[in-house]
Amino acid sequence: MKNANTPQYGKLSANISQAYLLLIIAPLLWGGNLVAGKLAVDQVDPNILLLGRWFGASLILIIIASKYIKPDWQKIKPRLLILILYGALGFAAFNLLMYNSAYFTSGLNMSIEQASIPVLVLLGNFLIFKVRARPLQIIGLVLTIIGVMFVASAGDLRKILALEMNIGDVMVLGACFLYAAYSLALKYKPKIHWLSFMLVTSLAAFGASFIYQIIIEAGFDNIISQIPKITLLGWGTIFYVMIFPSILAQIFYARGVELIGPNRASIFINLLPVFGTILSIIILGEKFETYHLIASILVILGIILAEYSVRKKQ
């Protein structure tokens, strides 16, 4: 048995502490992306925010990640199409819906509803890959879905049956479906350096964002006309989403995975809706309603049951 005072034990303890810190900061920065989208309302067009995010992130990644592309190219080439789809759907389309939803729903709703992503991944694994769910996972799935629906219907589930949900909440749930699909498709990701993966998918996200803008804004000229309308806060928001959730959060999460492994690290992603909720209250000054509390309890309990079921077997 190792003595707690040995250098090896001290190094291991330091690595775990570092991993926990990085894995807490990463979802905090991702949660900040929700708040940034809400702050951007009337400060920068949401579609320009998306385009600016992936343009800036791509430029930075070209500088720091290009050296990994050449040794990885033979693995990238046969999987280039799926890598492009990762960026177009998981990065660009997901955030396109999230940024536009900010015009119609609250940051609190956006945060709590994102808790549906791990549940949708669990459901997708069962339906598509025939991964059997355990009883506790099923209970957790049901509780989380009820919690998310409770938020989307503002505490009145009858609205869902009557199809009276807020369009912003529908957009968030659509974004969650896209990201869950992206997560499931990662099964086919080539075994390349994570920076190679980020560079290729970010370039794809930028290309897709540009195409989305052409379609939504009805031409390139309309995109250009939006740039002078960006306020100082709008530029600050673009800078934040370009650097923090797009690059730093990815770097922190990747390092955390290296230190403690993907199974232990993945549970920290569930902090995203928690941090998004806290930041929405602190920064946006949004009111935490009773239905938010009820939904949060259901969502957190559902995630805990699902995670506990998986980790108990491991």
Residue 12 φ/ψ, nearest 5 degrees: -60, -45
DSSP structure string for 55-107 = HHHHHHHHHHHHHHHHHHHHHHGGGHHHHHHIIIIIIIIHHHHHHHHTTTS-H
Give tens-digit pLDDT for 142-166.
Answer: 777 777 777 767 667 676 655 567 8
pTM: 0.84
Query: Given this model, what pLDDT does residue 51 score?
Result: 93
pLDDT digit string, tens, across residues 208-257: 999 998 887 666 777 788 889 999 999 999 999 999 999 999 889 888 88
- Residue 291 pLDDT > 90: no
Residue with tokens 């009773």: 290
pLDDT above 50: residue 1: no
Q: What is the mean pLDDT of the chain?
A: 84
What burial letters (b/e) apply to 201-216, b meaning 16+ CB within 10 Å? bbbbbbbbbbebbeee
